[in-house]
Amino acid sequence: MTLAEQLAARIRATGPMTLAEFMAEALLHPTLGYYTTRDPLGAAGDFTTAPEISQMFGEMLGLCLAQTWLDQGAPDAVTLAELGPGRGTLMADILRATRGVPGFHDAISLHLVEASPAFRAAQATRLSDYDPSWHDGVDGLPEDPLLLVANEFLDALPIRQFARVGDGWAETLVTVTDGGLAFARGEPVPVPELDHHDVADGTIVERCPALVPVVGAVAARVATGGTAIFVDYGHWRAQGDTVQAVRAHAPVDPLDAPGTADLTAHVDFEAIARAAAPAAVTPMIRQGVLLERLGITARAQALARSLDGAERDAHIAAHRRLVHPAEMGDLFKAIALYPPGAPPPPGFDASA
CA distance 163 to 205: 6
Amino acid at 258: P
Strand 226-235 vs strand 146-151: parallel, antiparallel, or unpaired? parallel
CA distance 80 to 61: 12
What residues does each domain of the chain span? 19-156+210-235+254-338
**pLDDT reported for residue 30:** 86
Q: In angstroms, how far is the first alpha carbon of the chain from the final one?
A: 50
**pLDDT reported for residue 196:** 82
Q: How many CB atoms lie within 10 A of CB 5?
A: 11
* Helix ranges restricted to H, the chain: 3-14, 19-28, 34-37, 50-53, 55-71, 89-97, 104-107, 117-126, 211-222, 269-274, 287-293, 296-304, 309-323, 330-331
Give me the phi and psi of 308, to 5 degrees please.
Answer: -150, 170
Question: Could you give the angle at the alpha carbon of 16 between the alpha carbons of 11 and 19, nearest 5°?
Answer: 110
Number of C-alpha atoms within 13 angstroms, CB side, residue 326? 2
Q: pLDDT for 11-52, tens place per residue?
A: 999 999 999 999 999 998 888 988 777 666 655 555 678 988
Question: Could you give the angle at the alpha carbon of 201 between the alpha carbons of 165 and 199, nearest 5°?
Answer: 110
**pLDDT reported for residue 352:** 46
CA distance 313 to 309: 6
CA distance 263 to 54: 24
**pLDDT reported for residue 39:** 64
Question: Could you give the angle at the alpha carbon of 235 between the alpha carbons of 234 and 237, nearest 5°?
Answer: 125
Its CATH architecture, for the domain 19-156+210-235+254-338, is 3-Layer(aba) Sandwich (3.40)
Sign of the CA dihedral 139, 262, 231, 92? positive
CA distance 83 to 154: 9
Mapped onto helix, strand or coil, the DSSP state of residue 254 is coil
Mapped onto helix, strand or coil, the DSSP state of residue 90 is helix
Question: Could you give the angle at the alpha carbon of 261 between the alpha carbons of 266 and 238, nearest 5°?
Answer: 10
pLDDT-flagged residues of the chain (< 70): 38-47, 350-352
Q: Please, are residues 116 and 147 in contact by the beta-carbon 8 Å criterion? A: no
